[in-house]
């Protein structure tokens, strides 16, 4: 497994524009309220005099999460100047950004901002590595995440997937009408009837995906009108055979593979007739990158050792 920094697939230039400003502010305020619900006595030792600090990377990976750090420090009256772009590979010791603002504000937002950047960068790093594995094998399909995200950090982690070059998958339950195995069990109706009812509920604006546990189920779901069939927890050989069978009879139906697929196992699931592989490990198991903040000596107005870390 690779340990060196991995360059991410360059994200679309306007990727940060997908993040609703009101949601960014809401998340930043929630994180700050969690970490500092009342007065911070240590702030009195710092005061509101202007200070500068460097944001340092301490572990290798891919940088992601600048909009979230901007939002958090912005709530504390600070501004961030980024020296490294999103998606860039990082080495330990890299000065990623400089933060300026009132001393108490710089430190008030420190932990929440570092948590967001570390978590987002960790997901971007895992995503970039998985995409590199797929492309290295010549597989042209989509590497995607899942909804297995950290409560309160879904937008952060979905954004990190995008920066790393992976598809975020659906952001919420309404982003795609997905009929899972438990829907089929709870409905207590034939698969074809459930799919038909789901198709009517989806309307013309949503795709319909059906989770299938066998090749027979996948063929039945495709025949009933599914746009995507999810082959869940298949062995690599069974996956390849089921995907080929679906494409042979329903070439326009997309095939997604999922179910405990790790980076190490990924090459075995890159079958020719599989359009997408979704990996929960890109979010639920991605280790956060380590970042630190170092306040700089000087008067905070740009003099002193601004060039050193």
CATH code of residue 56: 3.90.1170.20
What mean pLDDT is predicted for residues 163-184?
A: 90
Give the pLDDT confidence score for residue 304 in this predicted structure: 37
Residues 144 and 168 sit within 8 Å (Cβ to Cβ): yes
Give the pLDDT confidence score for residue 271 in this predicted structure: 95
Residue 81 lies in a domain: yes
Q: Write out pLDDT tens, residues 48-75.
A: 999 999 999 999 999 999 999 999 999 9
Domain at 237, CATH number = 3.20.20.70
Residue 182 lies in a domain: yes
| Res. 262: pLDDT tops 60 | yes
Residues 212 and 238 sit within 8 Å (Cβ to Cβ): no
Residue 145 lies in a domain: no
Give the pLDDT confidence score for residue 202 in this predicted structure: 82
What mean pLDDT is predicted for residues 261-277?
A: 97
Place of tokens 């405990």: 260
Residue 274 lies in a domain: no
- Mark whether 9 and 158 lie in a shared domain: yes
- Mark whether 16 and 161 lie in a shared domain: yes
- Mark whether 126 and 5 lie in a shared domain: yes
| Res. 3: pLDDT tops 50 | no
| Res. 299: pLDDT tops 60 | no
Residue 94 lies in a domain: yes
Give the pLDDT confidence score for residue 8 in this predicted structure: 52
Dist CA 140 CA 131 (whole Å): 10
- Helix residue ranges per DSSP H, 76-170: 103-108, 110-136, 154-163
- Mark whether 105 and 210 lie in a shared domain: no
Beta-carbon contacts of residue 152 (< 8 Å; ≥ 6 apart): 27, 30
Phi-psi region of 224 (alpha: psi -120 to 50; beta: other; left: phi over 0): alpha
- Mark whether 157 and 186 lie in a shared domain: no
Residue 277 lies in a domain: no
- Mark whether 225 and 293 lie in a shared domain: no
Residue positions annotated with a catalytic role: 148
What domain count does the chain have?
2
pTM given for the model: 0.90
What mean pLDDT is predicted for residues 213-230?
A: 95
Q: What angle do CA 225, 227, 232 make, to 5 degrees?
A: 105
Structural domain boundaries enclosing 58: 1-140+151-166+282-298
Give the pLDDT confidence score for residue 201 in this predicted structure: 84
The single-letter DSSP state of residue 69 is H
- Mark whether 102 and 16 lie in a shared domain: yes
- Mark whether 45 and 79 lie in a shared domain: yes
Please provide the average confidence, as pLDDT, over all residues in the chain. Answer: 91
The percentage of residues in the chain with a pLDDT greater than 70, rounded to a whole number, is 92
Dist CA 294 CA 75 (whole Å): 20
- Mark whether 193 and 135 lie in a shared domain: no
Residue 303 lies in a domain: no
Residues 255 and 229 sit within 8 Å (Cβ to Cβ): yes
The residue among 44, 55, 48 whose CA lies nearest residue 101 is 48
Give the pLDDT confidence score for residue 5 in this predicted structure: 42
Number of H helices, E strands in the chain: 10, 12
Q: Write out pLDDT tens, residues 79-133.
A: 999 999 999 999 999 999 999 999 999 999 999 999 999 999 999 999 999 999 9
Give the pLDDT confidence score for residue 308 in this predicted structure: 31
Least confident of 104-118, 169-183, 209-223: 169-183
What mean pLDDT is predicted for residues 31-51?
A: 92
- Mark whether 72 and 202 lie in a shared domain: no
- Mark whether 162 and 176 lie in a shared domain: no
- Mark whether 179 and 160 lie in a shared domain: no
Q: Which H/E stretch holds residue 71?
A: helix 66-75
Residue 247 lies in a domain: yes
Give the pLDDT confidence score for residue 307 in this predicted structure: 33
Give the pLDDT confidence score for residue 17 in this predicted structure: 87
The residue among 131, 158, 163, 129 whose CA lies nearest residue 145 is 158
């Amino acid at each position: 497994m690779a340990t060196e920094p991995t360059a991410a697939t360059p994200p679309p230039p306007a990727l940060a524009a997908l993040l609703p400003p009101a949601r960014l502010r809401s998340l930043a305020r929630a994180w700050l309220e969690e970490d500092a619900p009342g007065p911070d006595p240590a702030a009195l030792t710092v005061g509101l005099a202007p200070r500068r600090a460097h944001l340092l990377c301490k572990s290798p990976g891919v940088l992601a999460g600048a909009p979230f750090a901007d939002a958090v420090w912005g709530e504390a009256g600070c501004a961030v100047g980024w020296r490294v772009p999103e998606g860039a590979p990082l080495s330990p010791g890299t000065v990623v950004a400089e933060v300026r603002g009132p001393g108490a504000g710089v430190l008030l937002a420190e932990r929440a901002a570092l948590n967001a950047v570390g978590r987002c960068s960790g997901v971007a790093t895992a995503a970039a590595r998985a995409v590199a594995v797929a492309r290295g094998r010549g597989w042209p399909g989509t590497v995607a995440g899942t909804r297995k995200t950290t409560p309160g950090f879904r937008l952060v982690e979905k954004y990190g997937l995008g920066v790393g070059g992976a598809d975020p998958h659906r952001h919420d339950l309404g982003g795609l009408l997905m009929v899972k195995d438990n829907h089929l069990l709870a409905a207590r109706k034939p698969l074809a009837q459930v799919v038909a009812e789901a198709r009517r509920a989806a309307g013309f604006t949503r795709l319909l995906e059906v989770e299938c546990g066998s090749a027979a189920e996948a063929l039945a779901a495709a025949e009933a009108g599914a746009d995507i069939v999810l082959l869940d927890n298949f062995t690599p050989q069974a996956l390849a055979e089921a995907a080929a069978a679906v494409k042979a009879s329903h070439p326009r139906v997309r095939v997604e593979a999922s179910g405990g697929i790790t980076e190490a196992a990924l090459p075995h699931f890159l079958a020719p007739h599989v359009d997408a592989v979704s990996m929960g490990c890109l979010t639920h198991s991605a280790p956060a990158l380590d970042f630190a903040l170092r306040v700089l000596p000087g008067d905070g107005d740009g003099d002193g050792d601004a060039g050193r870390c």
